[in-house]
Amino acid sequence: MANLWYRSLYWRIAFGFIALLATLLLAQGLLFFWLTDRFVSSSPARTPAQLAEIIADDIAAELTQHPQGSIETYVSTNFRRYQPFVVALTDGRRASNRPSMLPPGLERGVQERLRRSLMGYGTGTESFGGRRGGPRAPAEYAAVVVGAQQRGLVAVPTNPPPVFVLLRELGPTLAWFGLGLLGVGATIMALVIFRPAHNRLRSLEQAARALGEGRTEVRASERGGDEVSSLARTFNRMAVDLDSRAKALSASDRARRQLLADVSHELMTPLSAIRGYVETLSMPELTLDRPTRRRYLDIVEQETHKLEAIIGDLLDLARLEGGGETLNRESVPVADLFTRVADRHEPTIRENGITLETEIAPGTPPVWGDAARLEQAVQNVAANAIRHTPRGGRVTLRAEGAEDRVHITVHDTGPGIPTEHLPRVFDRFYKVDASRAGTAVPSGSGLGLSIVRAIVEKHGGTVTAANSADGGAVFELLLPTDGRGTSTTPE
């Protein structure tokens, strides 16, 4: 699967953080403008002058009904959401709906304006002085008249409050809103970005723990296309490799145990016979005539040769499969191999009335390999064919060229090999003699065909077994010629 950049966990975290920051800033800005507009433009009047007149009338009505009432309470309760203003009464009382948002110097300016109005100056718009002789800012004034007598003065700034005043007023609200929005954004990022990655990492952790406990069949989830899924795919490949290695090791261990059992059995058979006859011969109280003693000794000799043959075959197989033997390659004519096979088995085939035929196609090239080992391989296949060919049967050795190979076929007219046994005929100590009964030659050690396969594969060739359509078994050997074959086993 292609690694798409936008599916990367790092990119998603970066984009999520940028989106959260942009959303936070945008929301903070919108909230700031909304609150500013609410604070500045929340009065029922359209202009500061109108607002001053409305507030002056309301305060005058309150003073008429409650002359000694708390003007601070009345202003803070009824004008909290209005534009900032300040009211000063002739008795010295002052009140403001939003003291923290008043421009600097407004309270002092309204008191001065009140004294002047009492001295005969009118109300209206006038600038009040800033602190320390700073710039003067205009304000709208309205007199609080009770019973045709001025009782106070209301001042409403004509300009919005300075930014620092708004920030000082709105700061806590913006801060709490920002913290809340930050918490909501962090929660969304955790649920959308980090939680799926966390779950997959936990799954990968559990799979790794299970793998460490020996459960090589466990696999991690590979969903997604980010770094976590890439790590999961790498882990699964490792798990598959470990699983295959574990199965191979288990199969090797079973094969080793089976080999030990087979070797023990095959060696125990002649050893038991030898021991039995030797003990019989050594009994002083048992009197044996000369022919019987001679027969017992012949059996011991035969079992000794059989034991020697099994041990020799095991050593040959170990050297061939272990790579501890170097082949002395040379050009070996097929005719020489077939001649030596015929000479070797001539007494056996004559005794059992078996016909041995050899056919070499014209132009068949010589085999490139070790002459002694090639002869051993062909001898073993031919011996197996002769062993399972009934009296009066026929064994055919055939050879022909096949591109850069020599195709050797050994065909007998015996009972053939049952289909279920064909895949295992080259296994060590595997015998199918019970299925190929009716032959006159005793069965071998069960290592001959294993040695054949080891020799052929060491030469870079192949060997197969099958049944002929007209009966009997067919063994086919493909061997290299002219030095162009490649051995599958290092020499």
Q: Is the pLDDT of residue 1 over 60?
A: no
User: Binning pLDDT at 50, 70 and 90, where does residue 310 land?
Assistant: confident
pLDDT at 211: 81
CB atoms within 10 A of CB 285: 4
For residue 128, is it within any domain?
no
Give φ, ψ of 154 to 5 degrees.
Answer: -110, 130
Q: What percent of the chain shows pLDDT beyond 90?
A: 15
Q: Both 449 and 464 in a single domain?
A: yes
Q: What percent of the chain shows pLDDT beyond 70?
A: 80
CB atoms within 10 A of CB 289: 8
Q: Is the pLDDT of residue 135 over 50?
A: no
Note whether 483 and 368 are within 8 A (CB): yes
Q: Both 152 and 179 in a single domain?
A: no
pLDDT digits (tens, 9 = 90+) for 447-474: 788 888 888 998 889 999 999 888 889 9
pLDDT at 431: 65
* Residue 177, H or E segment: helix 163-189
Which of 400, 367, 399, 395 is CA-nearest to residue 383?
Answer: 395
Read off the tokens for 184: 């909501």
For residue 236, is it within any domain?
no
Q: Is the pLDDT of residue 26 over 80?
A: yes
pLDDT digits (tens, 9 = 90+) for 217-265: 777 777 766 677 778 888 888 888 888 888 888 877 776 776 677 677 6
CA-CA distance, 339 to 329, in Å (whole number)?
20
How many domains would you assign to the chain?
4
Q: Please name the amino acid found at residue 379.
A: Q
Q: Both 349 and 462 in a single domain?
A: yes
User: Binning pLDDT at 50, 70 and 90, where does residue 169 land?
Assistant: low
CA dihedral 162, 163, 169, 171 (to 10 degrees): -170
In the three-class reduction of DSSP (H, G, I as helix; E, B as strand; rest coil), residue 178 is classed as: helix
Rounded to whole angstroms, the maximal C-alpha distance in the chain is 169
**292: domain CATH number?**
1.10.287.130
CA-CA distance, 389 to 487, in Å (whole number)?
33
User: Binning pLDDT at 50, 70 and 90, where does residue 162 land?
Assistant: low
Q: Both 148 and 250 in a single domain?
A: no
For residue 460, is it within any domain?
yes
Q: Both 30 and 53 in a single domain?
A: no
Q: Is the pLDDT of residue 208 over 80?
A: yes
Q: Is the dihedral of CA 346, 349, 355, 357 positive or negative?
A: negative
User: Binning pLDDT at 50, 70 and 90, where does residue 178 land?
Assistant: confident
Note whether 382 and 410 are within 8 A (CB): yes
Which of 109, 447, 414, 139 is CA-nearest to residue 267?
Answer: 447
Q: Both 276 and 378 in a single domain?
A: no
Q: Both 155 and 190 in a single domain?
A: no
Domain final residue, candidates 271, 292, 325 = 325
Beta strands in 68-132 (DSSP E): 86-89, 94-96, 125-128
For residue 83, is it within any domain?
yes
CA-CA distance, 331 to 73, in Å (whole number)?
122
What are the residues whose beta carbons fall under 8 Å from the beta carbon of 87, sequence distance 6 or more?
A: 55, 56, 59, 71, 75, 94, 95, 96, 110, 144, 152, 153, 154, 155
pLDDT at 403: 81
Read off the tokens for 291: 């022919």
For residue 125, is it within any domain?
no
DSSP 160: P
Q: Is the pLDDT of residue 140 over 70?
A: yes
Length in residues, the chain: 491
- Among the listed ranges 279-293, 314-328, 339-353, 406-420, which one has the minimum average pLDDT value? 314-328
For residue 280, is it within any domain?
yes
Give φ, ψ of 367 to 5 degrees.
Answer: -85, 140
412 to each of 285, 390, 394, how far by Cα in Å?
51, 9, 6
Domain that holds residue 38: 5-42+165-206
pLDDT at 29: 77
Domain final residue, candidates 266, 292, 325 = 325
Q: What DSSP line would sit under 13-40, residue for residue?
A: HHHHHHHHHHHHHHHHHHHHHHHHHHHH
Helices 448-458 and 290-322, packing angle to 10 deg? 30
Q: Both 200 and 248 in a single domain?
A: no
For residue 222, is it within any domain?
no
CB atoms within 10 A of CB 469: 7
pLDDT digits (tens, 9 = 90+) for 374-396: 998 998 899 889 988 999 899 99
151 to each of 60, 97, 139, 147, how far by Cα in Å?
8, 19, 19, 9
pLDDT digits (tens, 9 = 90+) for 30-57: 777 776 666 555 555 568 888 888 889 9
CA-CA distance, 478 to 456, in Å (whole number)?
8
103 to each of 87, 116, 158, how far by Cα in Å?
14, 21, 10
Domain final residue, candidates 278, 294, 325 = 325
pLDDT digits (tens, 9 = 90+) for 332-366: 999 999 999 888 888 888 888 999 999 999 989 99
**436: domain CATH number?**
3.30.565.10
In the three-class reduction of DSSP (H, G, I as helix; E, B as strand; rest coil), residue 150 is classed as: strand
Note whether 385 and 444 are within 8 A (CB): no
Q: Both 57 and 16 in a single domain?
A: no
CB atoms within 10 A of CB 348: 15
Helices 371-387 and 448-458, packing angle to 10 deg? 150
For residue 126, is it within any domain?
no
Task: Please name every residue paired with 87 in a beta bridge, in sequence order, or none if there are none.
Answer: 95, 154
DSSP 225: S
Q: Both 342 and 457 in a single domain?
A: yes
Q: Both 176 and 27 in a single domain?
A: yes
Q: Both 294 and 342 in a single domain?
A: no
User: Binning pLDDT at 50, 70 and 90, where does residue 432 land?
Assistant: low
